[in-house]
Amino acid sequence: MSHQTVIVLDFGGQYNQLIARRIRECGVYCEVKPHTTPLAQLKAMNPIGIVFTGGPGSVYLEDSPQVDRDIFTWGVPILGICYGCQLMAHALGGLVTPAQDDAAREYGKTPTWYDTSCKLFQGLPGQGVSWMSHGDYMARVPEGFALTARSGSCPNVAIADEARGFYGVQFHPEVNHTEHGLAMIRNFLYAVCGARGDWTMGDYKKTAIAQVREQIGSGRVLLALSGGVDSSVVAALLAEAVGRQLTCVFVDHGLMRLNEGDEVEAAFSRWDINFIRVDAESRFLLRLAGVEEPERKRKLIGEEFIRVFEEQAKQVGAVDFLAQGTIYPDIIESGAGSAAVIKSHHNVGGLPDYVDFKQIVEPLRLLFKDEVRQLGRELGLPEYLVSRQPFPGPGLAIRIIGDVTKEKADMLRQADFIFREELARAGADKALNQYFAVLTNTRSVGVMGDGRTYDYTLALRAVTTSDFMTADWARIPYEVLDKISVRIVNEVRGVNRIVYDITSKPPATIEWE
């Protein structure tokens, strides 16, 4: 099935991926392209509309990102956001200047009034808050454009030439701070570009399966399955598409959460594929024995993983394809300047050196994370796999402070399970983005029954975050924390004290190591 496409033309703004995600949320497929992409290439994509993103530049400066002027005579609707709006105004004969005073240099949440007879704002309340972040000002708008929104200090917050399908907004409709922002994007897509809303994960599943079948033919595919969302969804897609031509190697390093290895294996038992589960716990623990330094732990685990995988790959023999769980945010090219960096090969680093294969298959390379989860659901993967929180590659090894032993790993696994179970029972897990237990290297005196104990202190960590770059510690209700504490101390031998981590990131990190 072919679907309609919108192009997000990237001028280097910080919210560009968010724009693309919002468009896809509205059921319309889109791709992010650098602003330097030749017009012929954009035309070949046959888009129904184009969005110019924001960007750090100033359109009147010579070295600022520009656009091929012929884009404006092509006949495709354009929505310009912030820099994109100014660029359109500048290119079509308007005048953009540095804002003369602070009032015109708007930043933050700004009360805004909309002309709801404009297609972009139809069906919206006439007033709302919009998120501004611009230092330039449209002193004169181009001929043919009407002013369609204003703020207290700025009469031309939005402009429109409805005959040509050109719209521009100085604010950012893609961020949540802009009330009705999503409705504006939806209006652009459906009322202006004539979108049909033909981008659904159910349809995409069929397309992706057909594409993968075509690419792989009768070839053999190898996948390193970690049990994380991305590799699990790749595995399910390939299982559905090519069945026994797929070999999944799942390395169980013994540092997973309770029952995790079994759950991953169970999730794939419904497909007839070659599923190799390698129980490598003792190998990993041996390598880690006596190692206390976090970075050293990471390095050893990474190396050992490669070794185990390599051995398995050798046994499987030559394969035609190596599958990777690369997702769209990994490959989007930066639109900032001519030195566009493609990050696509971060994910692939290392592997090709020691696995005998001809080509890479990356069936998720056009999907955002939330779409990957949705595709996983469509493919019938259990919810605990598709909605799971991030789990670091080195696993519990970096949640056991100091040296790692099997006893400590078992203790932590059990405590972590209780923590997660009680959070779920209280319904408190939904609001959290990551939560886990940490076994500290501190022991303290306690009293249990009539006896004195000298056992480990266990820390609980729960955070809310949207990007994992910054995070806030979660305000879990005291009663829930109390229940968790009582259960862990009673049920997990070797732990006699529970603390809750109330540090945000920064200054702390999410993990303890």
Whether 513 contacts 393, CB under 8 Å: no
| Binding residue for ligand XMP, selected from 203, 265, 421, 511, defined by CB under 6 A | 511
Residue 394 lies near ligand XMP (rule: CB under 6 A): yes
90 given a catalytic annotation: no
- Residues sharing a CB contact under 8 Å with residue 257, sequence separation 6 or more, in sequence order: 391, 395, 396, 413, 416, 417, 420
| Binding residue for ligand XMP, selected from 27, 329, 393, 402, defined by CB under 6 A | 393
User: Is residue 181 classed exposed, middle or buried when 0-12, 13-18 and 19+ CB atoms within 10 A define those classes?
Assistant: buried
Cis status of the peptide bond prior to 98, with omega within 30 of 0: no
Q: How far is the CB of 485 from ligand XMP (least distance, A)?
A: 23
Three-state secondary structure string covering 13-54: CCCHHHHHHHHHHCCCEEEEEECCCCHHHHHHCCCCEEEECC
| Binding residue for ligand XMP, selected from 468, 477, 482, 493, defined by CB under 6 A | 468
Q: How far is the CB of 388 from ligand XMP (least distance, A)?
A: 12
Nearer to ligand XMP, 76 or 438 (CB): 438
Q: How far is the CB of 477 from ligand XMP (least distance, A)?
A: 23
- Residues sharing a CB contact under 8 Å with residue 166, sequence separation 6 or more, in sequence order: 72, 77, 78, 80, 88, 92, 145, 160
513 given a catalytic annotation: no
Measure Cα distances from 29 to 3, 13, 196, 344 in Å.
Answer: 7, 20, 10, 20
Q: How far is the CB of 512 from ligand XMP (least distance, A)?
A: 8
Range list of β-strands (E), 76-220: 78-81, 95-98, 107-114, 127-133, 136-140, 146-151, 158-161, 166-169
Q: For residue 445, how far is the Cα from the chain centroid?
A: 43
Nearer to ligand XMP, 22 or 257 (CB): 257
Nearer to ligand XMP, 105 or 388 (CB): 388
Q: Could you say which residues in the range 436-455 bind ligand XMP, by CB under 6 A?
A: none
Stretch of residues binding ligand XMP (CB under 6 A), selected from 208-216, 238-246, 389-397, 399-407: 389-397
* Helix (DSSP H) and strand (DSSP E) numbers for the chain: 14, 20
Q: Could you say which residues in the range 488-507 bind ligand XMP, by CB under 6 A?
A: 505
Q: Which of 106, 174, 179, 378 is catalytic?
A: 174
Distance CA 335, CA 183 (A): 26
Sign of CA dihedral 310, 311, 317, 323: negative
Whether 233 contacts 201, CB under 8 Å: no
Q: How far is the CB of 392 from ligand XMP (least distance, A)?
A: 3
Q: Which amino acid does the sequence have at 347?
A: N
Stretch of residues binding ligand XMP (CB under 6 A), selected from 168-176, 216-224, 388-396, 476-484: 388-396
Element (H, E) at 247: strand 246-252
| Binding residue for ligand XMP, selected from 112, 231, 434, 453, defined by CB under 6 A | 434
Size of the site for ligand XMP (CB under 6 A): 11
C-alpha angle with apex 180: 179 to 182, nearest 5 degrees?
A: 120
Q: Which of 82, 118, 193, 248 is catalytic?
A: 82
Q: Could you say which residues in the range 1-30 bind ligand XMP, by CB under 6 A?
A: none
Residue 510 lies near ligand XMP (rule: CB under 6 A): yes
Nearer to ligand XMP, 189 or 510 (CB): 510
Q: How far is the CB of 395 from ligand XMP (least distance, A)?
A: 9
Q: How far is the CB of 369 from ligand XMP (least distance, A)?
A: 12
Sign of CA dihedral 12, 18, 19, 24: positive
Distance CA 82, CA 342 (A): 25
Whether 51 contacts 81, CB under 8 Å: yes
Q: How far is the CB of 506 from ligand XMP (least distance, A)?
A: 9
Nearer to ligand XMP, 42 or 396 (CB): 396
Residue 395 lies near ligand XMP (rule: CB under 6 A): no
Q: How far is the CB of 114 from ligand XMP (least distance, A)?
A: 39
Residue 390 lies near ligand XMP (rule: CB under 6 A): yes
Nearer to ligand XMP, 12 or 392 (CB): 392
Going by DSSP bridges, is the β-strand pair 274-279/127-133 parallel, antiparallel, or unpaired? unpaired
Nearer to ligand XMP, 32 or 409 (CB): 409
Residue 197 lies near ligand XMP (rule: CB under 6 A): no
Distance CA 79, CA 71 (A): 12
Q: How far is the CB of 434 from ligand XMP (least distance, A)?
A: 5
Q: Could you say which residues in the range 77-116 bind ligand XMP, by CB under 6 A?
A: none
Nearer to ligand XMP, 114 or 391 (CB): 391
- Token readout for 369 is 């994370």
- Token readout for 506 is 């920064």
Specify the length of the chain in residues: 513
Nearer to ligand XMP, 207 or 509 (CB): 509
Stretch of residues binding ligand XMP (CB under 6 A), selected from 51-59, 311-319, 357-365, 386-394: 386-394
- Token readout for 429 is 């897990």
Q: Which of 35, 90, 134, 172 is catalytic?
A: 172
118 given a catalytic annotation: no
Token pair 């026994």: residue = 244
Contact string 267-306 vs ligand XMP (x = CB under 6 A): -------------------------------x--------
Write out the residues near ligand XMP by the rule CB under 6 A.
Answer: 298, 390, 392-394, 434, 468, 505, 509-511
Q: Which residues are catalytic?
A: 82, 172, 174
